[in-house]
Structure 1
Amino acid sequence: METLRHVVVLVHLVGFAVLFGAWAAQAFGGKRQITRMMDWGLAIAGAAGLALAAPWGLADGVEMNYAKIGTKLVVLLIIGALLGIGAGRQKRGATVPPAVFWLVGLLTLANAGIALLWR
């Protein structure tokens, strides 16, 4: 069971990498647009994160940190909202507001930081 949990952690990290990598490619490539890869990365990271929030495969005596899980979920929902706002503006022919675009990257990085640093 522990091996399966580690595989889900790997999938979660891949989702983060897809989201952040797609954002970084746009940020440093000059276009600064919301792409479908960002949406896919968000979906992968979110689904794997929810699977990790279930209390399965933990060693005896290990307890879940529900405050951390809740915080990460709220940040994930905000990222999703920002991606939706940016994609909606793109479909109407407008540009993505710089604040929305840069917040996506900042919050994605913050979510990874929360995962790593909050014990």
Structure 2
Amino acid sequence: METLINVFVGLHIVGIAALLGGFFFQLKEMRAGEARIVPGMLHGALTMLVTGVALVGLNQADDAEVNNVKIGIKLAVLVVILGLVYVKRDEERLPAALFGTVGALTTVNIFIAVLWT
């Protein structure tokens, strides 16, 4: 079970990298007001959702303690990210503030995961 959990943790990190990588890749375009949601960002957010749900289920099946408040807050932040990425995925240009919100919320989600013990 531990190996399976570690595989899903790795996949979760790949999802984070895809979402945040798409954001960092377009920082120059964001400053010019020409940033857009690339498909990898949507796929990364969806990967985070699927693997996160799987991790909660696997940890509960393994009788590990799961902090439901932490998971709920992380899920709420991810739903906002997913909503922004999904709705704005077809727009050619996004305002810098909106695109920056996606990167900021992703970073917040990472810090919640790492710092909340």
State the TM-score bracket (shorter-chain normalisation): 0.7 to 0.9
Percent identical pairs in the alignment equals 38
Corresponding residue for 1:110? 108
With normalisation by structure 1, the TM-score equals 0.86
Q: Distance in 2 between matches of 1:4 and 1:28?
A: 38
Q: How far off its partner does 1:29 sit? A: 5.0
1:55-94 to 2 correspondence within 5 Å? 55-58=60-63, 62-88=64-90, 90=91
Unaligned runs of at least 5 residues, structure 1? none
More relative contact order in 1 or in 2 (CA 8 Å, sep 6+)?
A: 2
- Bigger drift between 77-86 and 4-13 goes to 77-86
- 1:57 deviation in Å? 3.0
Q: Point out where structure 2 has 5 or more consecutive residues left out of the alignment.
A: none
TM-score (normalizing by structure 2): 0.87
Give CA-to-partner distance per residue, 1:13-53, whole Å, 9 cap, x none. Answer: 11001110011101235541111110010011110001011
The separation in 2 between residues aligned to 1:32 and 1:6, in whole angstroms, is 34
User: How many residues end up aligned between the 2 structures?
Assistant: 112
Q: How does 1:4-15 map to 2 (within 5 A)?
A: 4-15=4-15
Q: Which amino acid is the alignment partner of residue 40 of structure 2? A: M
Structure 2 residue aligned with 1:26:
26
Matched, 1:42 2:40: no
Give the whole-Å Cα distance in 2 for the aligned partners of 1:84 and 1:12: 19
Following TM superposition, the consecutive aligned residue runs of length 4 or more in structure 1 with deviations greater than 4 angstroms are none
Instruction: State the superposition RMSD in angstroms.
Output: 1.5
